[in-house]
Structure 1
Amino acid sequence: MSSIPSVQKVSLFRENGGPEVLRYEEDFPVPKIGATDLLIKNKFAGINFIEVYFRKGIYPSEKPYLLGREAVGVIVAKGDRVEKYNIGDKVAYLSGSTFAQYTKFPQDGNLIKLPENITVEKEKTIAGSLVQGLTALTFVEEAYNVQKGDFILLYAAAGGAGLIFDQLLKKKGARTIAVASSDEKLQLAKEYGAEFVINSSKEDIVQRVKEITGGKGVDAAFDSIGKDTFETTLEAVKRKGTIVSFGNASGPIPPFPINRLSAKNLKILRPQLFGYLAEPGEWDHYSSELVRLIDSGELKINISKVYPLKDYKQATEDLESRKTVGKLVLEIPE
């Protein structure tokens, strides 16, 4: 391991707050690996909104908190008892602490081995699709098993996850009602598979949902917004419908009495991706299906911008101000 430096460049925060607490540090220790660990040198890492929840303190975290959820890189060192992987293997994986030049990773963790001759563009695509692609894939199968003809309400329909949901829902034969804050975003959602659109900045969501569904409401809603949309979603879902709540973009949903679901016999769940990938067979199934969909061209990942690691603060400001569409990715310095 003589060629591995002792310090590295990272993006982190040491206290909770707004984007101003983010720090780019150039002398953060490179993690030491054990007998069953890999050391991965990262090349690209995807940016996900969940980092905002940790930074703001909505989700608790230890400090300093090294950001990141997903990455593509190459194995540069391995422990004595690692047999499945070799130094030089190109890999994609889910892990914390990927906004860094190096990440320590267990050999039995969720990891995909990539072809040696993979292109840089494909590396960016996969780095930017793991969390959101696997979220969409698992949620439309397991959180709510979408059926042909179902009316589905989808918020943030032109974001990184939204554009993937648009495509997968269309593939399942659903009738997607896309919600976004501008006509430009809604046009993009339509291009990616949404059938109906609602501009949340100038239209009444519930009224439009009722018009589109003949007064019944939607079979299910995928709501990543949280506090600001919860009451709307409760109204928009039909009798025996399902609410899949999976984000806090506007803040956490306040506590509510569970008997509010009784009026329409509603189901509500709060899934998280790793709950669907806990067993090796689940990871193998969904990760191979994601790679297959991308390779075949059936699933298009819109990487709208790549920022250098040192500019993560700017990237998250752009993301949080709702200026962006598609997926944002960080390029990790050599």
Structure 2
Amino acid sequence: MARTVVIEAHGGPEVMKIVDRPVGEPGPGEIRIAHKACGLNFIDVYQREGLYKLALPAALGMEASGIVEAVGEGVIHLKPGDRAAYSSQPPGAYCEARVMPAAQVCPLPDSISFEEGAAMMLKGLTVDYLFNRTTPIAKGDWVLFHAGAGGVGLIACQWARSEGINLIATAGSDAKCQMALDHGAVHAINYRTEDFAKRVREITDGRGVDVVMDSVGKDTFEGSLNSLRPLGMMISFGNASGPVPPVDLLALASRGSLKITRPTLFTHIADHATCQEMAGRLFSKVASGSVRIEIGQRFPLDQVAEAHRALEARMTTGSTILTL
């Protein structure tokens, strides 16, 4: 049996409950993993609220790290005793142990701690597809990144610095802006006190940025479009402030033939080999010191509701993990 966070109805943090669930043995293509730590992400909130519908009752959580206890038939990249970390479907990472598909579980290098592994997989793999798999971004290009002091944002700031990319971060306080600057952003804008689109134009001498990476959604979408240069790319990859309303395609034309995409991590990592390749790039960035994983908050598993409240209230910085 393993303590597991489940929901029986969509709603606020109070709908989460911890129950004992049987773990069982892995079948073909599966592993059983005993968790050391679990990561917390906005997708967990979207699933809990019902923005992303789950068949109920459902377990929550999309990333974790731990020790492989058993492997099923056909699993060759992992063995019992291996350290491992993942961001993977289906949900269910908020638990002490689970049986799950093996394809997106990655061997975790000894140089990376279990807490770092739990804090970095979904966020770090997201940064990898944003910079390497969505649109060409070259040294010297300008990127606007919203929520620059969050878990994804602090990784993105460091990633951009390591690649010679000019990243402009936005955040909701001067302290968070300073965090983004300390992690590699070349400029940071407090969107509560400044018009970020206007400030972006000033920073770029009126040109606009090549790419916007926006996980905030509804509140920043219009300003994000206004921050792009002609032929620029808008990457909308989250909905922290709510989903983006329907888009008038003529608005893209009038702003200079803009491009827009709405990717998801799980499309990018669906192929086993691609997932392992992306994880390899992420691990190399961390092992080399180019990217440091900042864990701003730790909550025990039985305080998962408090962790969700802190995330939704924008009271967190860096990554948040659940400890076991």
Out of 54, 62, 72, the position equivalent to 1:61 is 54
Q: Is the 8 A contact 1:144 1:244 kept in 2?
A: no
Give the Cα–Cα distance (whole angstroms) in 2 for the partners of residues 80 and 250 of structure 1: 43
Matching residue of 1:328:
320
Give the Cα–Cα distance (whole angstroms) in 1 for the partners of residues 258 and 78 of structure 2: 46
Give the Cα–Cα distance (whole angstroms) in 2 for the partners of residues 321 and 20 of structure 1: 15
Matches within 5 A, 1:148-163: 148-163=139-154
The answer to whether the aligner puts 1:87 opposite 2:80 as a matched pair is yes
Give the partner amino acid of 1:99: Y
Give the partner amino acid of 2:99: K
State the shift of 1:23 in Å: 1.3
Give the partner amino acid of 2:268: Y
Give the Cα–Cα distance (whole angstroms) in 2 for the partners of residues 83 and 186 of structure 1: 44
Matching residue of 2:190:
199
Matching residue of 1:16:
10
Out of 278, 281, 287, the position equivalent to 2:279 is 287
Give the partner amino acid of 2:291: L
Corresponding residue pairs, total: 321
CA pair 8-281 structure 1, distance change in 2 beyond 3 A: closer
TM-score when normalising by structure 1: 0.91
Give the partner amino acid of 1:237: L
Q: Is the 8 A contact 2:31 2:99 kept in 1?
A: yes
Deviations 1:20-41 (A, max 9, x none): 212122x223245324421111
The answer to whether the aligner puts 1:110 opposite 2:104 as a matched pair is yes
Give the match's secondary structure for 1:62.
Answer: coil
The answer to whether the aligner puts 1:180 opposite 2:175 as a matched pair is no
Give the Cα–Cα distance (whole angstroms) in 2 for the partners of residues 114 and 206 of structure 1: 40
Give the match's secondary structure for 1:143.
Answer: coil
Deviates more, 1:319-328 or 1:165-174: 165-174
State the shift of 1:297 in Å: 1.1
Percent of aligned positions that are identical:
37
Q: Is the 8 A contact 2:108 2:117 kept in 1?
A: no
Deviations 1:29-77 (A, max 9, x none): 3245324421111111111111111111111111112111111111223
Matching residue of 2:268:
276
RMSD value over aligned CA atoms? 1.7
Give the Cα–Cα distance (whole angstroms) in 1 for the partners of residues 43 and 4 of structure 2: 18
Give the Cα–Cα distance (whole angstroms) in 2 for the partners of residues 93 and 207 of structure 1: 39
Matching residue of 1:244:
235
Matching residue of 2:304:
312
Give the partner amino acid of 1:106: P
Deviates more, 1:293-302 or 1:71-80: 71-80
TM-score when normalising by structure 2: 0.94
Matching residue of 2:95:
100
Give the match's secondary structure for 2:169.
Answer: strand
Give the match's secondary structure for 1:163.
Answer: helix
Q: Is the 8 A contact 2:25 2:70 kept in 1?
A: no
Q: Is the 8 A contact 1:224 1:246 kept in 2?
A: yes
